Amino acid sequence: MSVPHKVGTVKSKQATNVKAPVAKVVKAAGKKKDEEEATDTAEGEEWMPGKTLVKPPDQLDLTEEELNEEITRVLTANNPNAPQNVVRYGFKEGCYKPIIFVDQMAIHFELEGNLVHKESDEGRRLMAKQAEREEGTGAEKLDNVAKAGEKERKLTNQFNFNERASQTLNNPPRDISCQTEPPPRANFSATANQWEIYDFYVEELKRREKSKEKQEGQVLNKEEDKSKKKIIQAETQSDDITQLAHAAKIIERMVNQNIFDEVAQDFMYFEDAADEFRGEKGTLLPLWKLQYDKAKGLSVTALCWNPKYNDLFAVGLGSYEFTQEERGMLLFYTLKNSSYPEFIFNTTSGVMCVDIHEQLSYLVAVGLHDGCVAVYNLKKKSDQPVYNSTASSGKHRGAVMQVKWQKDDLDSNHNFISVSADGRVVSWTLVKHELVFTDIIKLPATDKVPDDLKDVIATAGTSLDFHKQKDHHFLVATEAGKIHKGSKYYSSKFLETYDAHFMTVSRVRWNPFHPNVFISCGWDWMVKIWDQTIKSPIFTFELKTSVTDVAWAPYSSTIFAAITNDGKVHVFDLSINKYEALCQQKVVSKKTRLLHIEFNPVNPIIIVGDDRGHVISLKLSPNLRKKPKEKKGQELPKGPEVEIAKMEQLLSSLR
Amino acid sequence: MAETVDGKKDEADYKRLHSFPLIRHTDMPEEMRVETMELCVTACEKFASNNESAAKMIKESMDKKFGNSWHVVIGEGFGFEITHEMKNLLYMFFGGSLAVCVWKCS
C-alpha cells in the first residue's frame, strides 16, 4: 500500500508560508487516503465498520483530475519575506536602477554573548580587576603561594645561579638614500585635424600601391629568371660553406697535430741522447709520412722546399717508366697538416721537376714528361697553370728533367731555365701571358754517336744546377755520364767537361758554401765530390747500389746525404769521417726505391720521396749536425766563412 | 547634381578606404606597438560614439599591462605638445577621422 507522498510535504522550518496549500494537499491526500483505506478495508477487513467521510465545511471541491494533479513545490533557500525587486535611484545615471542582489537573510533568533577575548582591551581590564579582587580575598593563599615562590626562589639564589646580561655593540644607524635615474623622456607635438588625417591616409595608400607594383614586377622577374635565382641561391649556400672552410682548415690542422702530437714534439725537441755513446755515428728519426690516395701508382719525381714557408714543400708526381699511363700531379704538403695536401694540381702528363721561385714563393715552375713547362701561381685558385708552353712556343721534345728559376732579367720579367732529354738548355721568360723561350746551349753529342747523326740523336740532360754566387755558371749533367760546366753568356760551347760517371749522372749540385766544390752521383753506384778546377774527383764514395739523388746540407759545407735504390739514406760528414758514412739507414720497406732527397733549409729534417708516391720526413740526429768544436776561450766564428775554411782545410789536405 | 553625387561617393569611398588603423608616429618596440594598436582599435570600435569611454578603456588596460601613468587622448581635431617616456608613445589614426594619442609619463 503505497501512499503517494507529494514532493514538499517534508516538514521544514520555512514551510510556514506554504502551510495553506500544503494543508490543502494534505487534506486532499488525506481524503484520498481515507477513500483508499475505505476501499482497502472494504476489500481486506470486512469486520471493520465502514467509515463515513466527514468533510470539513471549507474544503475545496476538486475534481478527480484536479486531485490527481501533481503539484511540484520547489524548496529554495530564499527568504520569503525578502523583497524581490528593489529599485534604487542611481545618481550617476540619473535614473532608477533595479538591484539584482537582494539580501536574503532572515534572522530568527539572536542572543548576545558575554565572552570577551582576553587579549582585547576590555579583557585586560577585566583581568586586572579580577586580580585586585583576588589579592584582597586570597590572603590565606599567599602562604602557599609564597612557599611555592620560595621554593622557586631557592633554586634561583645567588649561590647557584647568576644572572648576567650584556649588550652588544649596536652599529650606529646610517641614512643612505639613492635616486635612480628617471627613464628618459622626450617631447612630442602634433596636430590632429581632419585634413592631416586625410593627407596621411592618401600618402599611405600611394606607398602601398608602389610597393605592390614592385612586388608584381618582382614576381614577373622571378618567373622569368628562376634559374638565375637558383644559381644565386646555390652561390649563397656555397658562400656559407666556404666561410666555414677557414674554420674547417684550422680544425683539420689541429686534429692532425693532436693525432701526430708525438711526431711534432719529436720534430721540435727530440735530440737523440744515444748519439753521445755512438761515437761518430748518427741516426735518422722518422717523422711524418705523407701520402695522397690519388697519387697511388705515381712516383715522386721532384721535391722542393718553399723558401718562404719552412713547413711547405712541393712534390712532383709522375712516372719514370715510358710505358705507364700519362698523368701527373703537383702536390703541396705542409708539415702542419700531414694527412692531406694543401694544394693539388693535376697535370696532363707526369711531372718531372719542380722549382719554387726564391722571392715570390707562389710561383712554381714544373717540367713535364711530355716536354712542356708550366708555371703555376699558388695564389690563384684555379687548377690550371698560369703559363704553359706548347709546341709552337718551342717546348722540349723530350721530358724536362730540371727547371731552375733565375733572377729577374733586365725587364724585370721572371725567367727560368730548363734542361731536358732532348739535349737543349732553354731559358724561358714570362712575358705578359706567354712563355718566350731562348735556347742557351745544346748539349754536345756523345762520342759514340757517329758524326752525321750528331744533330739528330740528342744527349739527354739529367740535372742542372746554378752556382750560388756566380749564377751565370751552371753545371749540367748528362745521361752519358758527363758533367758540363757552362755559362749563360757562352752559347756555343762549354767551359769545362768532366768525365764523371760510367752511367747516367742522376744529380749534380754545387756546394752551398765553397765556391769551387760540387757533388755528383750516378747510377754507377758512385758519389763523387769535385773541385771545379781539378779534372778528377777529390772524394769518391761507393754505395752498394745505384745512387738516385744526393744533396748538400744547408748548414754545413761538409755534410751531404745520398739515397740509393735499396731504400737507404747515407749521411756523410767529411770533416769527421772522410771514408765512411755517419749514418746508413734504411727508411722504406723492401722493393720501394727512394728517388729524391731534400734538406729543409731551416730545420734539421730531410724529406725523401719514393716510387710509391710517398714522402717520408726524417730528423737528423745531433751527430749528423755537428758544427766545428770551439777551443776553450776562443769565440766560435760563425757564418759561411767557417764552412768555406773547413772545406778548404779538407781539400788542402788531399792535394 | 551628378558632381555632388560623385563627391558624396568619393567621401564615402575615402571613409571606407581610409578606415584602416594607421600609425602616424611611434617609438614603441614592435610587440608593444602591435598590442597597443590592437587595443586602441578594439576600444574605438566598441565605444564608437563615446570617446571618453574608449580612452578610459585604453588607459586602464595600458596601466595594467605596461605600468602606471598612461595618458590617452582621442579626438578628431586637437593639437598637443607632450613629454613622454622614451619608447612609450603611440600616435595613430583610425576610422578615417579619428586620431588616438597614447603616451606614458609618470
**Residue A516: is its pLDDT beyond 70?**
yes
Facing B75 at nearest CB: one of A184, A185, A192: A192
Residue B62 scores a pLDDT above 80: yes
DSSP-assigned beta bridge partners for residue A13 = none
* Per-residue confidence band for A225, with pLDDT thresholds at 50, 70 and 90: low
pLDDT above 80 for A232: no
| Average confidence (pLDDT) over A503-522 | 86
Confidence at residue A148, expressed as pLDDT on a 0 to 100 scale: 53
pLDDT at A234: 53
Over 50: is that where the pLDDT of A9 sits? no
Residue B13 sits at the vertex; the CA angle it makes with B9 and B14, to the nearest 5 degrees, is 125
| Higher pLDDT among residues A433 and A377, named by residue | A377
pLDDT on residue A391:
62
Q: Average the pLDDT over A504-519 and give the result.
A: 86
Instruction: Work out the average pLDDT over A518-534.
Output: 87
- Predicted pLDDT at A267: 82
Partner residue opposite B93 with nearest CB, options A187, A188, A197? A197
To the nearest whole percent, how much of chain A has pLDDT over 70?
A: 80
Q: Which residue has the higher pLDDT, A12 or A584?
A: A584
- Asked whether residue A179 carries a pLDDT value surpassing 80, the answer given is yes
Within an 8 Å CB–CB cutoff, is residue A181 touching chain B? no
Distance CA A276, CA B60 (A): 94
pLDDT for the residue numbered A643: 67
Mean pLDDT over A418-424 rounds to: 84
Whole-number Å distance between alpha carbons of A488 and A417: 10
Lowest mean pLDDT among A195-199, A321-325, A425-429, B67-71: A321-325
> Which pTM does this prediction carry?
0.53
Chain A interface disruption, residue of B15, B17, B18, B78, most A CBs within 10 A: B18
Q: What is the pLDDT of residues A72-86, one digit of tens each?
A: 888 887 777 778 788
Over the stretch A235-254, which tens digit does the pLDDT of each residue have?
555 556 777 888 888 898 88
**Which contiguous run of DSSP H or E holds residue B35?**
helix B30-46
Q: Which three cell numbers stand for residue A653?
A: 789536405
Nearest alpha carbon to residue A301 among A270, A282, A324, A268 = A324
The whole-angstrom separation of Cα B37 and Cα B28 is 11
* β partners of residue A470: none
Residues of A in contact with B25 (CB under 8 A): 188, 190
**Range in A206-215, A220-229, A406-415 with the lowest mean pLDDT:** A220-229
Name chain B contacts of A187, Cβ cutoff 8 Å.
Answer: 81-84
The three-class DSSP label of residue A24 is: helix
| CA–CA gap between residue A14 and residue A76 (Å, rounded) | 10
Size of interface A-B (CB pairs under 8 A): 74
pLDDT at B51: 92
Confidence of residue B90 (pLDDT cuts 50, 70, 90): very high
**B window 68-87, beta carbon within 8 A of A:** 75-86
Q: Average pLDDT, stretch A24-52?
A: 52
pLDDT of A109 over the 70 cut: yes
* All cell numbers assigned to A467: 752556382
Give the separation between CA B24 and CA B17, rounded to whole angstroms.
16
Q: How many CA atoms lie within 13 A of B38 on its CB side?
A: 7
- Cβ atoms of A501 and A523 within 8 Å: the answer is yes
A361/A345 Cα distance (integer angstroms): 16
Q: What is the mean pLDDT of residues A338-367?
A: 87
The mean pLDDT value for A205-216 works out to: 91
Residue A480 vs residue A233, higher pLDDT: A480
Nearest CA in chain A to B74: A192
CA angle A305, A307, A308 (to 5 degrees): 125
Does pLDDT of A310 surpass 60? yes
Q: Closest to B97 (Cβ–Cβ): which among A184, A186, A194? A: A194
Residue A191 has its nearest CB partner, among B79, B97, B103, at: B79
Query: Which residues share a beta bridge with A496?
Result: A485
Contact A28, A62 (CB under 8 A): yes
Mean pLDDT on A381-396: 75
Confidence of residue A582 (pLDDT cuts 50, 70, 90): confident
pLDDT at A228: 56
Q: Say whether A44 sits in a helix, a strand or coil.
A: coil
Please determine, for residue A362, whether its predicted confidence score (pLDDT) is greater than 80. Answer: yes
What tens digit of pLDDT does each residue of A564-577 get? Answer: 888 888 988 887 88
Percent of chain B with pLDDT over 70: 84
Mean pLDDT of A274-290: 81
Q: What percent of chain A has pLDDT over 90?
A: 3
Q: In this structure, which amino acid lies at residue A61?
A: D
> Can you give the pLDDT at residue B75?
92
Task: Please report the beta strands in A291-423, taking only residues with DSSP state E, as ranges in sequence order.
Answer: 299-305, 312-318, 328-334, 343-347, 351-356, 363-368, 373-377, 387-388, 400-405, 415-420
Average pLDDT over residues A440-452: 71
Does residue A89 register a pLDDT over 60?
Answer: yes
Cα(A341)–Cα(A606) distance, integer angstroms:
18
Average pLDDT, chain A: 78
Q: Residue A36: its pLDDT value, please?
A: 47
pLDDT tier at A647, thresholds 50, 70, 90: confident
- pLDDT, tens digit, for every residue of B10-59? 666 656 677 889 999 999 999 999 999 999 999 999 999 999 999 999 99
pLDDT of residue B104: 93
Q: Is the pLDDT of residue A1 over 50?
A: no
Q: Residue type for A331, please?
A: L
> In this predicted structure, what is the pLDDT of residue A151?
55
Q: Which of B90, B97, B98, B103 to mutate to test the interface with A (most CBs of A within 10 A)?
A: B97
Q: CA dist A542 to A362, A520, A556, Å?
A: 39, 12, 22
